[in-house]
Structure 1
């Protein structure tokens, strides 16, 4: 098994397979030998588990996952990598490569076919430019996965793990907290990668909830998150102003709904927690039929 964190090994592999790192795919290979074992351990996987990996690169994290789990399926969009991975992962018969775009492949069907009833974790060193779309797809589709352990840009990690109702939170924080229990694990310095990025990274773990922390009327999740996105679209304004502007509602209607659930009209978007936005959605549904997706 080649040492996939050794620069000379990486350069030799890239030269033999005529592979050049792509900025378009956000490729930065991990060369710190201590990082991938820590990520794999943090995922809590072991015998009997299946792992879905996103973007295996040359297989440095994949190797650690295969050493722990029963089966590892890696989704890769770069058509130049299969031949290289066939060499680096030749020693593992529990590895499968799927050459697809993770944002387009039928994940529910893939997980059912590859893992059956096994507990499943997602593990990845995510390209920074596409972190949020990937995570939200994994969470919104309510896939049969137990947890998601990923390395992302540190600033993104802080926002993803920020508690709703705090200054650091944004709309994405609320979505993550609705579907999962997030926590930051450790940071990774730029020198741990080849080539070194300009930013510090962080590893986070999202433990997927078996049920949301608040109850919404059936089919109202889209309306709920539309309300939160509207509030944070102008976070320097009061929640009432931002929601009225974002959802094209009369401000008086929004203020009436806020008063009905006991919210201060001067409240800022980040001062409301998940329950407060749920109560506000219900109040708006009772006052105005213009809120997208609200049942009456």
Structure 2
């Protein structure tokens, strides 16, 4: 069964009375060259257990299953399991879990399903929920080697942006703290059905063995980062003061103590700068 064929997709949708959902951000891959490239980018072979998020009708799932030891595909759309039962028939190394990935205990799921195996995440993520999924995977410090996902090109560039550059934001800092990201390749809109209005890109996040900077309290560190980018047009001092409920004077002093100009913009700050400001704020309290 050629799942990238439009005729096959339409036949399946008709058979199972399935209409693509905008709410679930469903865009199925119809370019047969794309799934192998994604799996190549993730470096998957027989040793690996693979967590897939949002398998859709199973286009990428089948490619992953042909190379991986085991695949667990987490799908939120209750209409899809019967479709997947047909499209993944005969693949005994695939398990579909009908759950919302944001509400799933992924650590327990991985321990149960991938015992003794190295694990990677590989997925064509729904664009409307990219950041929450990525942040859950990173913040829970799951035992995964890399996260290789297809997302909107702009989102991929933001995920991979270097802190201290104009393109960076709170999510760029969080990603760099936990992982080393790189954009692998782009995918044109015509590779999907229905075709989205944007170009897509595959980004790979290689999880760091230890975070990029050492801080005493990750929660406080990320609260500082989020506050800085919460009002991007302001200086870092004003944005941090507003976001954390501190006086501008206190924050300006902390920036100065960290060796920074109090008029610095949030996107000019590196992970190390944020750690130094965090330490200066602590010392000043």
Does the TM-score normalized on the shorter chain lie above 0.5? Answer: yes
Q: Which runs of 4+ in 1 moved over 4 A?
A: none
> In structure 1, what is the equivalent of residue 281 of structure 2?
284
Task: Name the CA distance, whole Å, in 2 between partners of 1:59 and 1:129.
Answer: 20
Q: What is the CA distance between 1:248 and its match in structure 2?
A: 1.1
Task: Name the CA distance, whole Å, in 2 between partners of 1:175 and 1:183.
Answer: 14
Identify the match of residue 269 of structure 1 among 266, 269, 273.
266
Q: SS state of the match for residue 3, structure 2?
A: coil
Task: Name the CA distance, whole Å, in 1 between partners of 2:17 and 2:61.
Answer: 21
Q: SS state of the match for residue 68, structure 1?
A: coil
> In structure 2, what is the equivalent of residue 293 of structure 1?
none
> In structure 2, what is the equivalent of residue 225 of structure 1?
222
> In structure 1, what is the equivalent of residue 196 of structure 2?
197
Q: What is the CA distance between 1:118 and its match in structure 2?
A: 0.5
Q: What is the CA distance between 1:91 and its match in structure 2?
A: 2.0
Q: SS state of the match for residue 73, structure 1?
A: strand
Residue pairs, 1:1-296, within 5 angstroms = 2-217=1-216, 220-288=217-285
Cα RMSD, aligned residues only? 0.7
Q: SS state of the match for residue 182, structure 2?
A: strand
Please list every run of 5 or more consecutive structure 2 residues that lacks an aligned counterpart in the other structure: none
Q: SS state of the match for residue 74, structure 1?
A: strand
Q: SS state of the match for residue 48, structure 1?
A: coil
Task: Name the CA distance, whole Å, in 1 between partners of 2:256 and 2:122.
Answer: 44
Aligned 8 A contact 2:253 2:262 in 1:
no
Task: Name the CA distance, whole Å, in 1 between partners of 2:168 and 2:50.
Answer: 29
Write out per-residue CA displacement over residues 184-230 of structure 1, whole angstroms, 9 at most, x where no aligned residue: 0111111100111111111100001110011111xx11110110111
Q: What is the CA distance between 1:240 and its match in structure 2?
A: 0.8
Task: Name the CA distance, whole Å, in 2 between partners of 1:19 and 1:170.
Answer: 38
How does the TM-score come out when normalised to structure 2? 0.99
Task: Name the CA distance, whole Å, in 1 between partners of 2:97 and 2:67.
Answer: 20
Task: Name the CA distance, whole Å, in 1 between partners of 2:74 and 2:173.
Answer: 27
Task: Name the CA distance, whole Å, in 2 between partners of 1:102 and 1:160.
Answer: 20
How does the TM-score come out when normalised to structure 1? 0.95
Q: SS state of the match for residue 148, structure 2?
A: strand
Q: What is the CA distance between 1:238 and its match in structure 2?
A: 1.1
Q: SS state of the match for residue 103, structure 2?
A: coil
Write out per-residue CA displacement over residues 5-57 of structure 1, whole angstroms, 9 at most, x where no aligned residue: 00111111111111111111110110000000100111001011100000001
Task: Name the CA distance, whole Å, in 1 between partners of 2:69 and 2:199.
Answer: 32
Q: What is the CA distance between 1:148 and its match in structure 2?
A: 0.5
Q: SS state of the match for residue 39, structure 1?
A: helix
Q: SS state of the match for residue 207, structure 1?
A: strand
Write out per-residue CA displacement over residues 82-130 of structure 1, whole angstroms, 9 at most, x where no aligned residue: 1111111012100000000000011000000000120000011100100
Task: Name the CA distance, whole Å, in 2 between partners of 1:225 and 1:171.
Answer: 8
